[in-house]
Structure 1
Amino acid sequence: MTPAPRRHLALVGAIWVAWSAWYVAWAVGAPAGPAAIAYLALPLGAAVGAHGVHVMIRRVPLDPVARRFWRQMLVAFALLAIGYAMLAGTAFADLSILPTMPIPAAVFVAGAFGMAMWAVGRVPLGIANRAQRLRQWLDRSIAFLGCSAVLFTFGLAPMIGAPDPWSTQALVLISLSILLAVGGITKVSYIGNGPVDRVAIRLIGLTSLVGAGVAVLSVAGGYHSAVPAQAVVMPIAPLLAAFAARRQWASTGERPRRANTWLPYLAIAAVDAPLLAQLGGHAMTGTGRLAIVATVLVNALVAVRQYVAMRENSRLLREKRASEERLRHEVTHDGLTGLANRGLFRDRLAGVLDGGDATVLLVDLDDFKTVNDSLGHEVGDHLLIAVAGTLRAATGPDGLPVRLGGDEFAVLVDDPAVDGEALAQRILDAFSGPMSEHQLLVHASIGVATAAAGTPLDTVLRDADIAMYAAKQRGKANWVRYQGGMELPQAGHARLGGELRRALDNGEFRLVYQPIVALATGHVVGVEALVRWQHPARGLVSPAEFIPAAEGTGLIVALGRFVLREACRQAAAWLAEFGPDALQKIAPNVSVRQLHDPDFVADVRQVLAETGLPSDRVVLELTESAVLRGPQVLDTLHRLHDMGIRLALDDFGTGESSLSLLQAFPASIVKLDKSFVDGIEVGEEGTAEATARQAVARAVVQLAGALGLDTVAEGIENQGQADRLRALGYTLGQGYHLARPMPAEDFRRLLAAQQRRLPAAA
């Protein structure tokens, strides 16, 4: 609130206080000057009030309807100030208590009343249809007649019939003020929120009661009532106007409220007052008095009955609106988190894209399924609620946070001034700490996409989804903005996923087998099963291409089931042909998605039962990232270990290897990654890099030995590497130097040749 409206209000208030004090002094006979001084209060207050309205119109941005209303009120108060200034001049000229108002002054004041009535009458009521208009005119007519009857009976009628007749100008102006009072009250009582502040216009409406107050005061005080009317009562009008201007200045737009409906009932009660006043008449009989009393009682009871019905209807309407609001909220908001849901998100996004740019942030929680699987859905729900609260707080007023479903959220930004990338980083920073009462850490991947007006809704959602997937590919807990062409690899994955399904159904996958060899003797002790795809058109497809697509589409579970069953079937056949000493272990690889599959342990048990392969001949190869996927995965691994199946930790040393991991994980075999084998054959005089690799290899074999684990060195490509690894303590190896991956028939011949050599060696 700037000082301007406060200054005008304070000045008008000071005028009223000063003239009220002057009147008290004048009334008790203290030296206060002539009665004509009373006639200065209203023109001064009206002038200050008019200036306040003028300043408000210049400085406050107003709706055209509100600006028109306040301009008309400015004219009304200016005319009022001029008219009463002329009356004050007459009062000082003849120093009478009740001077006769000059005709020009009466014209100005009448013009002021007329302009005020016109201004109030033009304020829209927001009536929607003809039925509402008819109902409101009936209510307003009842209120108008009831109020008019009271004011005429107790105000205007006694003035007309007074022994000392009032001047025509005074009677006309008092009549106009009463008309303005009644009309203003019945008008403003039905105005809800609109262009003109509802409180401001009601304050303006109250100014009309000043005239009615003057009329009643005149009847009660007669000739001498002109002084308090001019000094105390009439300056209240500009004071109310100053309050109204201040209210409009500070208006911030309240919630819409229903216009008053109680005024007709009040008018019915009010119209009984003139009727009751007739009870004292000498000519009235007892029967007539009884009829009047009965009429008043019936009117009162009808009014009470109607008022009770109105209150009940109002209560039912409020409950209906509340129910509709609740249903509307439930339809457009997520029941668990309270955020906007997918339907509201799409509606808002479509609306924004109709006329402007929009930015969408697609927020997907990383590894949320692990929380549900390991801790239960109730804990997962609590975490989702906490995530929603964090997202809401991080977004603030910059966007609309949404839960799309599951662990997928979004933020819609429709303000071009908001930087989507900065908002994405702010959200990631907010997710950096523990959440919910369970103090869980959760990370998210965010895809950011911006679309111009007219872009199809599904296009921007697709772009955000592609960017979010790219963020996950970059290591999760990250955000990526969509760039043109990003969709090409994903589209390739999607097409590849469809071909994978067909390939599984058509039997296009084959297994190849890479031997695991004893470094000292070259004897084959086991074999790793590797999957290959023989595409009918593209030929042999690299695992580096189709395995990520299988992971992304979820087909890795079905593919892994095929690999496990085929590897176990083939191993059982080799053992049946060459005897139990021919092969110690068959080692298929297992993906993270398989370990999360609740049927995985049952699948393994069923495969062993179908093929007859002993469980101690099966080694499941896992990566460190799979082992680190939470309690559910560890529970699955322990159940497999309890079945007699051995577990191998593949690519050891490349991830988050630690002693605590090996202690928690029921591993039997550790496989040294190829990256530590490359260049390890260089002697002590070699590079620092080779020395570091040797140190890591030595540490791994010593750690495994201390824990009672077997070790296998991967990626051996020459004899120097094999010799160096043997010197470091490794007994088993795998690599192209020892044997390349081969079809099942070639591996069978390798086993047959090895079996022929054994008797000769003996």
Structure 2
Amino acid sequence: MATESRTPIRYVAAATLVTLLGALWFVTRPGPDAIGYVFMPAAGVPSVLAVRALLRRLPSDPVARRFWRLVLTGTAVLSLGYLILAGQAFAAMPELPTISLPAAILAAGGMLTALGAVARVPLGAGPADRRKRLIDRTIGFVGGGTLLWSFGLAPMITSSSGWSTQALVLVALSLVLGLGAVTKVSYIVGGPVDRAAIRLVASSSLTAVGVALLSLSGSDDNTLLAQAVVMPTAHILVALAAHRQWNSPGARRRRSGTWLPYIALFAVDVALLSVLHNGLTWSDRVVVLAAVALTGLVAVRQLMSARENGRLLRAQRASEERLRHEVTHDGLTGLANRGLFRTRVTEALEAGDTTVLLVDLDDFKTVNDSLGHDVGDQLLIAVAAALGEAVGPDGLPVRLAGDEFAVLLTGGADGEEVARRVLDRFAEPMSEHRLLAHASIGIATARAGDGLDPLLCHADVAMYAAKQRGKGNWVRYHDGMEQPVLAHAQIGGELRRALDAGEFRVHYQPLMDLATGRVVGVEPLVRWEHPTRGLVPPGEFVPAAEGTGLIVPLGRFVLRESCRQAAAWLAEFGPACMQKLGPNVSVRQLHDPDFVADVRAALADTGLPADRLVLELTESAVLRGPQVSRTLHELHEMGVRLALDDFGTGESSLSLLRSFPASIIKLDKSFVDGIELDEMGTPEAEARQAVARAVIQLAGALGLDTVAEGIENQEQADRLMRLGYTLGQGYHLARPMPAEAMTRLLAARAGLAVAA
């Protein structure tokens, strides 16, 4: 293939070598003068071979093949005519030959055929444009023809050198046809034949200009110079044209003919000035000078208009490029957008195996809610820049929407390696606020010809699987991976239906006084009574509710139902039966702008006193920025109490107590498990006791109530009481139960109190 791609340039080199040998012969002049006539047909051999090789390789476009077949025929016939002239030169030695009629006919026929190929190339324009271009070409032809007549043909015709009629006709034909071909080439805007190749073929005939200029002296040396050096350059130009077409990148439309009318005006002015120089009356000279000045002024004015039009066209092209960029790129980050991404992925799938990465930022909504959308936008811009740096030349980074990004890999880049680079880059602080961006990445690969949507669906499934593994992970898709995701999506749909159908129930786990066993409060816990599956554990549906956002309406239901039930218990058993109603509140609920209004409405509609409601929150929920902090303070000002759940497991438990309006802290179950084993002297039990002791002392110093969670046996309860704990929860004390069972428990405790 490498040798084949260099074939035309070899023929160019061969034609050039023949011409250089002709120049060397002309300088040294070994042998008879007839040798000078050999170089023209000799240079035609590589020229013909170059076009012949091109035709074997050329695609089956009828316009291109017709053009090059005519060029091949014309070059071969022209070379044959000059081969006959070379034979005549050797026969006429030592005199220089006069071109015979057969040789002149062949030469003229070759030129007519080659230039006919140029004439038959379509202009690539409509009828109106063709008419305007015909006028422009006529202007160029007249201007150039005037110059050639003044300095070429007229001196040849009027010279005393004795040119034969055949030679004069041949040179005149070359000049006229060559000029016509050049003016046409200037107006071809594009097509299957390379414009530069057409220009080279058309220009080859203008070697006749050199022949005409050399002939003016009438010397034999100039005639031999024309035959040995000037005329063989026509074959170099044809071979170069074949080489250009061979390596043509394809049809490109360009502006054409811009300068030709101005060159024509300049040519006419030069011819007029030459007439003025040769001698006229003073009045004729004034007319000629005025004509030259007028055409010059018209040319300058037209040039100014052309420059202004060019400026307007450049501005229009820049505007179009800007609009195209805006249509295909994201306005905030400057990355490619979803439309361009889908187009490029489709093109990549048609070409071969394609890999995409879907990159979804974790907890980006928290940044917007806590720091504001301006900070969020700055982070997105920084993330886009970091993504581009991490991907580098291996792919196309894209912003799909919101905090969703993607990467189309190119050049066989490794998806896992790119994902690692992205996560490593994201681990560095970004934007002026020095924020860290965690991301989950799904990787999927499709084979050539596969569909776009399945590929993106697989990448989305892998990205969701990465999210399930925790923040800052990547997962590559494999067959069957969509089953858990589909099940999760199905649970989401079922949750919506279950909410509408009223399938959720609230169970209550009592909060007990450790010393007396008296019920102090309850913690509402949601349960799903599925019509076919029975009681669905919270671990199966609560994460799906969190992921789909249904935790907000579900939490609203639990809040209102538990407030209604607690108010009913207070009305039935008196104010002493229920001091604390402690529903759990999720992060999504705290971010809901209607959450405070929901709490206020639940209290107002059910009549439950605000101080009996204790909202239980985890440390991760509290640490969510100014918006969440404002919400919690509004609730506190309403009289609603706040409990810090799972206390001691986070990183900022102590600092939270300084800014968070907590009334209760709940010791996490992890510090209760095994606390009764201290007599065995295990380091684990001693550590648990140390934490439990520190929490009760800290709560006492701050005036907070404490609750120990997860009490599984009496020994744990006894140990906690010795440490100072008075309230607790756990299966040992009471399991979660439906409202009816809780009512019976409260009734029984109320009966015992009356009996006592």
- State the TM-score, normalized to the length of structure 1: 0.80
SS in 1 for 2:98: coil
1:142-541 to 2 correspondence within 5 Å? 142-219=139-216, 224-230=221-227, 233-234=230-231, 236-237=233-234, 240=237, 252=249, 256-271=253-268, 274=271, 308-346=304-342, 361-395=357-391, 400-411=396-407, 427-448=422-443, 462=457, 464-477=459-472, 478-481=474-477, 483-484=479-480, 485-486=482-483, 488-503=486-501, 509-534=504-529, 540-541=535-536
Question: CA contact under 8 A between 1:38 and 1:230: conserved in structure 2?
Answer: no
What CA distance in whole angstroms lies between the structure 2 residues aligned with 1:195 and 1:425?
47
| Alpha-carbon spacing, 1:250–1:453, altered in 2? closer, same or farther (3 Å) | closer
| SS of alignment partner, residue 582 of structure 2 | strand
Q: 1:290 to 1:715 in 2, by over 3 A?
A: same
The 1-side partners of 2:342 and 2:660 are apart by 46
Q: 5+ residue gaps in structure 1?
A: none
- Return the alpha-carbon distance in structure 2 between the equivalents of residues 441 and 56 of structure 1: 62
Contact 2:677/2:685 (8 A) holds in 1: no
Q: Give the deviation of 1:215 after TM superposition.
A: 0.9
CA deviation map 1:83-124 (0-9, x unaligned): 657756766776768543466765664465345424444555
Residue 704 of structure 1 corresponds to: 695
Equivalent pair of 2:370/2:624 in contact (CA under 8 Å): no
Indicate the SS of the match to 1:588. coil
Note if contact 2:211-2:226 (Cα within 8 Å) is conserved in structure 1. yes
> Larger deviation: 577-586 or 246-255?
246-255
1:262-285 residue CA offsets vs partner (Å, 9 max, x unmatched)? 323433553465566556788x88
Measured after TM superposition, the shift of residue 625 of structure 1 is 3.9
Q: How is 1:722-761 mapped onto 2 (pairs within 5 angstroms)?
A: 722-723=717-718, 725-726=720-721, 730-744=725-739, 746-751=741-746, 753-754=748-749, 757=752
* Cα pair distance change 1:54/1:663, threshold 3 Å: farther
For 1:472 and 1:617, the matched residues in 2 are separated by 38
Report the secondary structure of 1:479's partner residue.
strand
Query: Deviation of residue 591 (structure 1)?
Result: 0.4
Amino acid at match of 1:263: L
Q: Which whole-Å CA distance do the structure 2 matches of 1:179 and 1:245 have between them? A: 24
The Cα of 1:593 is off from its aligned counterpart by 0.2
Q: Which amino acid aligns with 1:499?
A: R
Deviation for aligned residue 1:634:
5.0
For structure 1, which segment, 80-89 or 328-337, has the greater mean C-alpha deviation from structure 2 after superposition?
80-89
Q: CA deviation at 1:13?
A: 6.7
Please give the alpha-carbon distance, in whole angstroms, between the structure 2 residues aligned to 1:302 and 1:256: 29
Q: 1:154 to 1:613 in 2, by over 3 A?
A: same
User: Residues 637, 66 of structure 1: CA spacing in aligned structure 2 closer, same or farther, 3 A cutoff?
Assistant: farther
Structure 1 distance, partners of 2:550, 2:140, is 77
Q: Percent identity?
A: 60
Q: What's the CA shift string for 1:122-168, capped at 9, x where partnerless?
A: 5554x143333333334333333432343234312322232232124
Aligned residues of 2:371 and 2:625 also touching (Cα < 8 A): no
Q: Is the 8 A contact 1:424 1:479 kept in 2?
A: no
Moved more, 587-596 or 1-10: 1-10
Larger displacement relative to structure 2 (76-85 or 109-118): 76-85
CA RMSD in angstroms comes to 4.8
Whole-angstrom CA distance in 2 between matches of 1:98 and 1:717? 125
Partner deviation per Cα, 1:354-403 (whole Å, 9 max, x = no partner): 99886654432211111222222222222222333344455566655433
1:370/1:632 contact within 8 Å kept: no
DSSP-derived class of the 2:111 partner: helix
Determine if contact 1:421/1:481 at 8 Å carries over to the other structure. no
Residue number in structure 2 paired with 1:719: 714
Shift of 1:711: 4.6
TM, length-normalised to structure 2: 0.80
- Aligned 8 A contact 1:550 1:556 in 2: yes
Structure 2 stretches of 5 or more lacking a match?
none
Q: CA deviation at 1:599?
A: 3.7
How far the C-alpha of 1:515 sits from its partner, in A, is 1.2
2:127 alignment counterpart: 130
Which aligned pairs between 1:621-640 and structure 2 lie closer than 5 A? 621-630=616-625, 632-633=627-628, 636-637=631-632, 640=635
Which letter does structure 1 place at the counterpart of 2:204? T
Aligned to 2:33: 36
Deviations 1:429-469 (A, max 9, x none): 55343333433221223345566788876666555444433
- Mark the CA change 1:265 to 1:447 in structure 2 (over 3 Å): closer, same or farther: same
Per the TM alignment, residue 606 of structure 1 is displaced from its structure 2 partner at its CA by 5.6
Report whether the alignment pairs 1:100 with 2:102. no
Q: Which amino acid aligns with 2:493?
A: R
- For the 8 Å contact 1:97–1:227, the answer to whether it is kept is no
Hey, what's the Cα distance between the residues in 2 that align with 1:214 and 1:124?
A: 30
> How far off is 1:701 after superposition?
0.9
Letter in 1 for 2:696: G
In structure 1, the residue corresponding to 2:216 is in which secondary structure?
Answer: helix
Q: Quick one: distance in 2 between partners of 1:756 and 1:716?
A: 26
- What is the one-letter code of the residue matched to 2:486? L
Q: Measure the CA separation in 2 of the matches of 1:142 and 1:238.
A: 29
Distance 1:88 1:462 in 2: 75
Q: Deviations over 1:558-592 (max 9, x none)?
A: 33233334444554565566666544432110001
Q: Once structures 1 and 2 are overlaid, which stretch shifts more, 489-498 or 245-254?
A: 245-254
The one-character-per-residue Cα deviations of 1:640-687 (angstroms, maximum 9, x if unpaired) are 56766554343456676876677776655444554665666668669x
Structure 1 segment 541-690 matched on structure 2, within 5 A: 541-571=536-566, 574=569, 582-604=577-599, 607=602, 617-630=612-625, 632-633=627-628, 636-637=631-632, 640=635, 645-651=640-646, 669-674=664-669
